[in-house]
Structure formats: C-alpha cells, structure tokens
Amino acid sequence: MGEQIILAHKVVRYREVEDGIVIIEMLDKEHRNMFSENLIKGLISCFSRVRDNSNIKVVLLTGYDNYFCSGGTKEELLKIYTGELNFNDLDFFHLALDCDVPVVSAMQGHGIGGGLVFGMYADIIVMGRESVYSANFMKYGFTPGLGATLILPERLGTSLAHEMMLSAKNYQGGELEQRGIPFKVVPRKEVFTIAMQMSKELADKPRTSLIAMKKHLTQHLRARLPETIREELKMHELTFHQPEVKSRIEELFG
C-alpha cells in the first residue's frame, strides 16, 4: 500500500505510511495544539477514517516540534465558566480508547492539562525526556475533567497522579521517568522513532487478534468512564463558576 496523505480541517494530518499503520499528526501551530475547533474536528475525522478502514492495524498519534497537545483554549474555558459549555461537550478526548485497534501515543512534545489526558488514553505511550507534562487544571482553580481522575491514576500510578492533579505542577519527562512511570521516556528527538518501532511490532500481528486483545484490556476503563465523567461534572458545578476561576483564566492566558 502506497503512502496516502490527507489534511483534515487544515490542522490534522492522516498518513497511511505502510501496511497496517496510520500516523495521525496534530499540527495546529497557531494554537499550539490546543483544543481548537479545527483540531477537534480533524481528530474526529481521522479516527472515523481509521474505523472505516479494515486494513488498519495500528494508529500512531503525535504532535509537532515541542508540542504534543495543550488542552482547552481560553474561549472554551470561559464558556464553561459561564455555563455555555461543559467539559463533556468536548466529546473527542477518548478517541484513542474507543479506537478498535491499538493506539501508540508519541508524546514528543509538551502535554498540558487536557492534552496530557488525551495522550494517556492511548494503549502504548512514549514521552520526551525534555518535554513538560502537567495536569494543570487546578492551576486555573477548577477540578480536572475529561476523565482525568480515571485515566491518570491508571497510567501513571495513583500517588503520582494525585500529586499531579492536586499540585498542578509542571514535570519534565525525565523527572517522571525517575518517579517510575511505567512506559518509555527517551530524548525528544527519539520519541517518534521509538513509537514507530513499537507500531511496527504491533502491525506484525493479526488485526482480529489486536482488536480482541485491546477490547479485553480496556473494558474496565470503558465501563468506568461514564460514571467518572458524571462525578467530574458534579465537581465542576462546585468549582468552575467561582469568580476566581475567571480571573485565573484571564491572567494565565493573558
């Protein structure tokens, strides 16, 4: 199969690079891969294309340069503050979890807030040693969303995930490596190469077996996610509409 390239909504590139492997690249440089309208629509379009292609065995998800994904935009957060929107309306964040085939997340660049959470829904994760990762929701004064309270402890371990969500601090990949996170952390320039090697190892397996195995391994997350979202939205009703939250959003984005 020759390489096929599609640019979805101008900022997400879909590439079928070899038998069974698709690369989905987030390239919204104007917004540093925040959850812009075009990025969300592009990701939904690309994962829909994966779903409809019975030849695909593996998805490799990545960003550009120093950015993997940066979370919600100022406009989105302010709309949640005023009640025009809630986090669950951004209903794309579990695309990697819902994808039938395995997803490898090449988090070569910074993963901030919802961007970190988005990457953590992948089945296999590679992070950059120099890059910054943060569950920074509380920095703005509101509690985490997008299923963060489920997926971060699952992927990073309970103690570290709780510390990250409560403190909202930035952590370099090298520090997370020292703290014992259970997946590869390598120099940023090597992340994509390592992720591609892992994708090729997966693509060597029968597609039916990969789908069956992923379904089995992720069933507990898919079962628990709806209730987690309901509980997170309850917390948002308590925490998101404080005047201090609006001030923090304006200040931190300003």
CA distance 233 to 50: 30
What is 117-150 written as a DSSP string? HHHHTSSEEEEESSSEEE-GGGGGTS---TTHHH
Q: Alpha carbon of 26 to those of 32, 67, 118, 130, 202: distances in Å?
A: 9, 9, 12, 19, 22
Using CA atoms in the order 84, 88, 92, 93, what is the torsion angle rounded to 10 degrees? Answer: 120
Q: How many CB atoms lie within 10 A of CB 238?
A: 10
Q: Please count the other Cβ atoms lying within 10 Å of the Cβ belonging to residue 96.
A: 23
Q: Helix, strand or coil for residue 171?
A: strand
- Is 237 in a helix, a strand, or coil? helix
Active site residue 241: no
Cβ atoms 174, 185 nearer than 8 A? yes
Find the catalytic residue in 94, 110, 220, 236: 236
Separation of alpha carbons 52 and 45, rounded Å: 11
Tokens of 36: 């812009």
Cβ atoms of residues 167 and 137 within 8 Å: no
Report d(CA 51, CA 66) in Å as an integer. Answer: 29
Residues noted as catalytic: 236
